[in-house]
Structure 1
Amino acid sequence: MEHDTIAAISTAVGEGGIAIIRISGPDAISSTDRIFKSSKRLSEADSHTIHYGHIINPESGESLDEVLVTLMRGPKSFTAEDVVEINTHGGVIAVKKVMDAVLQLNAVRVAEPGEFTKRAFINGRIDLMQAEAVIDLIRSKSDRAFSVAKKQAEGVLSRKIKALRQTVIELLAHIEVNIDYPEHDVEELTAAFIEEQCTKAIAEINKLLKTASEGKILREGIMTAIVGRPNVGKSSLLNVLAQENKAIVTDIPGTTRDVIEQIVTINGIPLRLLDTAGIRETSDIVEQIGVERSRDVLQEADLILYVLNYNEQLQPEDKLLLEGMKGRSVIVIVNKTDLEQKLDLTEVEAILDRSVIVQMSMLEEKGLEELENKISELFFEGQLESDDLTYISNVRHIALLKKARQSLQDAIEASQAGVPIDIIQIDGRMAWEALGEILGDEAGDSLIDQIFSQFCLGK
């Protein structure tokens, strides 16, 4: 199957100016020639050229659409194979007609999800880490996340992992020499040498893992629950942050009955905002379900925005909820500061630190900048480093880096305990293999299939 010629629609389904059908494999050019009517056959054309013509029905000869066809001969293509991309008119019918014509050719089959990128990996054009970055590029929720994914796709992190593997392989080479040629006069492999090499690699791994939490946030966003009693301004906060009327806002308590989700970007940080139903005791069955869902979201959230009313006294249920938030990432938003003050802020400060309180007026859109700064300080110590895009964000990569680090630490401890070097070699090899699995060098077929199955069709 890896040598089949594959095809798929690479653009989103729906109306648009153009749609692109990508064909890759040994028969991509010859097969397209059978349905593409132009002044010149693709098989006679130079690579990386664009040709005007029409796609025809291979059986009836009927013209189906006016198109532009891009020709890219392997290995200088995304998949490192011969690739043809048909630029047809956008719209469901036009694309379907052209795709049907492509598939009428017995030499072409429909591509599986992610199969084009998988072929790029199998053919050695990119490593597995770069391939996974392609998913992150597609799913990026902010400019910053896109930039990080772009650097990973370009191989910035891959080069760091390869350098780490080189450090480990140098250690293994020294061990191998001492095991295979003990009679030769080679540099004695001491505990100090093992510790030096392993410590060097561990330090580099720690640098990468230090960025893991920030990288995960950039990749997935901060799950942010907007919580509070009914009618304190939770939905208004969602609308202000999203800069659109996503949630219904009324003076009637209990308007929000379910969790509303919206993704926004604040200071380059993606937030998955979850506007919850007001938490209170209620006899309304529907509202009870909404309140229960709100409590579930509250437990799972990375960040809690707890909204209070400047015009109301602190209620017993507020105190109970605030007490339960100690030790969590929480920002208390005191809303409606345009009204008369009835809330005793010292009561709130007695429960939580003053630094997490932000006074706002959703009506006048005051305090928004302070809130954005608080979120940045809470998760990124104020701001993201503009010149450093080497964030580790993939859970698989993080787990394998930790595995490699543990193996190297085990090697240090074994050496200090006087364990024979052939046993220490096992720890070193485990670290080398874990790093190789990040790049795909040591990854099994099932893992590779699982990773590429997450891609959209046509990528």
Structure 2
Amino acid sequence: MFCPTKRLFLENGTKTSQIFDHLSHVKPLKSLPVTYHLPTIYAVSTGINIKSATALIRISGSQSKYIFSRLTRKKSSELIPRKAILQNLYSTFDKYRKNLLDNSIVIFFPHPNSFTGEDVLELHLHGGKTIIKSVLNSIDNLKNYDTDKVKNNNIQIKYAEPGEFSRRSFLNGKKNLIELESIKDLIDSETEKERQNIIQNLDSQTRNKNISNFKDWRNVLIDNYSELTAVIDFNEDMEINDINNILRKILTNFEELAKNIKNFNERVLRSNFLLDGIKILLIGSTNVGKSSLINKLVKDDVAIVSNIPGTTRDLIEKIIEFNGWKLILTDSAGINKNLRSGKVLDEIEKIGIKKSISKLMGTDISLLVVDGSQPNICIDTEVLKIIKDNNIPFIVVVNKFDLIDTNKLHIIKNQIISIFNTVGITKTFPIILISCKTDYNIEELYTELTRQLKTIVNIDSKDPIRMSYRVQNILREDIIKNLDDAINQLRLILSNNSSDEEGDAVIICEVISEVINGINKITGESVGIEEVLDTVFSKFCIGK
């Protein structure tokens, strides 16, 4: 175990506390938002190229009051915060003539109590295209406007870039990444389950709980970082055993933290089904009714149905909403190699079968469709092996019940079970008998499909966690990977296998600072030197 000499500087001459410099941010004056120096932005928040009853132009920044004055020809002091007032809007191209553009409802939100944290002005217009365009042109004209007193007074106004209002909200600490990206996901949501889950994440109680998780992780990291920093800097009077005990405690804390973060991330990944949709593949031999079934599920004729084997030669994909779920249904080419071993398949059929097998590898649920009217049930064993090896959930769907002798139902089920047993699938699995022609038992298939959907997404949990892909990437790359690296470095030091124990400890500090940075990217918070030093001096008696 290392026992470095006491020093307040690292080998490169940098104070240990300066490791945090790249985490620190200059805090703005409390009276002004961080983005005060940036150009005032404006944009149409409703559709710009569609005809509608109303339209909304949103303006954010230090020139919001000025824009109000120039458009209305009134003093900005007449604005009453958060109160809707009816105002005439005039062209700004001629300040001596009142060229009326529209009669608008105007609402002013002064900083910091606005979405962006800046002064925000909302103009609620009539929704005509020419009205919207004329108001936008008048706002744009103001950036080049010279006052009577000052020439080129640098009035910075520009049309907002995509997401710029949300970016300013984040920079000014009004919203964190989770909230902002949840709002975007809510706008983009396509199914009821997706909408419900996002709304739940936007709920203040759920949102605060998620943010609390990140803050708790951050606090654990800072506390242990501070102890590790103190071991490096103030160790002259410390015994080796004391250092070992501190490092063991830090390792235990980091291992527990990593476990919690990975559990959190696993729940996030399971909730991804709500965003991406659940992939369901219909697979089976030719002419068993796969296309008929997908048409039944979609409630539309998206797949060609005929009695000619091999009609579907390529993958047919359709996205539907099923009981609130987003499903991606795929009808595949018939796989009938066993029955057609004596027939030479053409190239198109070969490609279709190859695509079906490849698609199966990435599916979430497989519907194995078989023809119950045939004397011998045909299920390709290669398909079953892929299902078994990849642990793919499946439902066996026995179609054409209307042609089946009900006295032979037990024989059909036994044949199916026997085929599955040959590849080692011995557990109980669902076998649903249906008729696409008469709709027999379709509801039972829907019920079983819903049950499996709930199992996959774990929708019955109290609080499914929905995070954007960006947040997921930060979790995976910045937080989990770096934390695992720190844990491995600590284990190396404690096992006495480190060739440079002190250097490794410094590296651990740098790695942990990256983990903290990752959390900051999500919450929008920063770690200042005062926060770290307060923790150090409260836990260690430096003068002892």
Equivalent positions of 1:346-385 (< 5 A) are 346-349=414-417, 350-351=419-420, 354-362=428-436, 363-364=438-439, 365-376=442-453, 378-380=455-457, 383-385=459-461
Unaligned runs of 5+ in 2: 1-34, 144-155, 337-343, 525-544
Compute the displacement of 1:193 (Å).
Answer: 1.6
Cα distance in 2 for residues equivalent to 1:79 and 1:131: 11
CA displacement, residues 262-289 of structure 1 (integer Å, 9 cap, x when unaligned): 14244x643223344556787696x887
Partner of 2:508: 427
Matched, 1:436 2:511: no
> SS state of the match for residue 443, structure 2?
coil
Cα distance in 1 for residues equivalent to 2:141 and 2:350: 56
Compute the displacement of 1:164 (Å).
Answer: 0.6
**Conservation of the 8 A alpha-carbon contact between 1:224 and 1:273:** yes
Equivalent positions of 1:255-294 (< 5 A) are 259-266=316-323, 269-276=325-332, 294=356
Q: TM-score, normalised by structure 2?
A: 0.69
Cα distance in 2 for residues equivalent to 1:438 and 1:141: 29
**Conservation of the 8 A alpha-carbon contact between 1:403 and 1:431:** no
Equivalent positions of 1:165-314 (< 5 A) are 165-183=218-236, 188-189=242-243, 190=245, 191-229=247-285, 231-242=287-298, 244-245=299-300, 247=302, 250-251=305-306, 253=308, 254=311, 259-266=316-323, 269-276=325-332, 294=356, 296-312=358-374
CA displacement, residues 151-188 of structure 1 (integer Å, 9 cap, x when unaligned): 55535323211211111111111122222222457993
Count how many residue pairs are aligned between Structure 1 and Structure 2.
436
> SS state of the match for residue 366, structure 1?
helix
Matched, 1:56 2:90: yes
Q: How large is the Cα RMSD of the aligned pairs?
A: 3.7
CA displacement, residues 405-456 of structure 1 (integer Å, 9 cap, x when unaligned): 413421441342145355234325413422422431799xxxxxxxxxxxxx
Deviates most, 80-89 or 248-257: 248-257
Compute the displacement of 1:71 (Å).
Answer: 1.6
Q: Which amino acid aligns with 1:225?
A: L
Equivalent positions of 1:155-166 (< 5 A) are 155-166=208-219
**Conservation of the 8 A alpha-carbon contact between 2:142 and 2:157:** yes
**Conservation of the 8 A alpha-carbon contact between 2:282 and 2:367:** yes
Partner of 1:10: 45
> SS state of the match for residue 245, structure 1?
coil
**Conservation of the 8 A alpha-carbon contact between 1:22 and 1:85:** yes
Deviates most, 44-53 or 136-145: 136-145
**Conservation of the 8 A alpha-carbon contact between 1:194 and 1:415:** no
Cα distance in 2 for residues equivalent to 1:193 and 1:210: 26
Q: 1:211 to 1:441 in 2, by over 3 A?
A: closer
**Conservation of the 8 A alpha-carbon contact between 2:315 and 2:330:** no
Percentage of matched positions with identical amino acids = 25
Structure 2 residue aligned with 1:136, among 167, 180, 185?
185
Matched, 1:19 2:97: no
Compute the displacement of 1:123 (Å).
Answer: 1.6
Q: Computing the radius of gyration over CA atoms, which structure comes out larger, 1 or 2?
A: 2
Cα distance in 2 for residues equivalent to 1:438 and 1:309: 54
Compute the displacement of 1:367 (Å).
Answer: 1.7
Unaligned runs of 5+ in 1: 444-459
Partner of 1:34: 70
> SS state of the match for residue 188, structure 1?
helix
Matched, 1:334 2:398: yes
Q: 1:282 to 1:45 in 2, by over 3 A?
A: farther
**Conservation of the 8 A alpha-carbon contact between 1:164 and 1:201:** yes
CA displacement, residues 284-318 of structure 1 (integer Å, 9 cap, x when unaligned): 96x88776655554444333333333334567674
Q: TM-score, normalised by structure 1?
A: 0.80
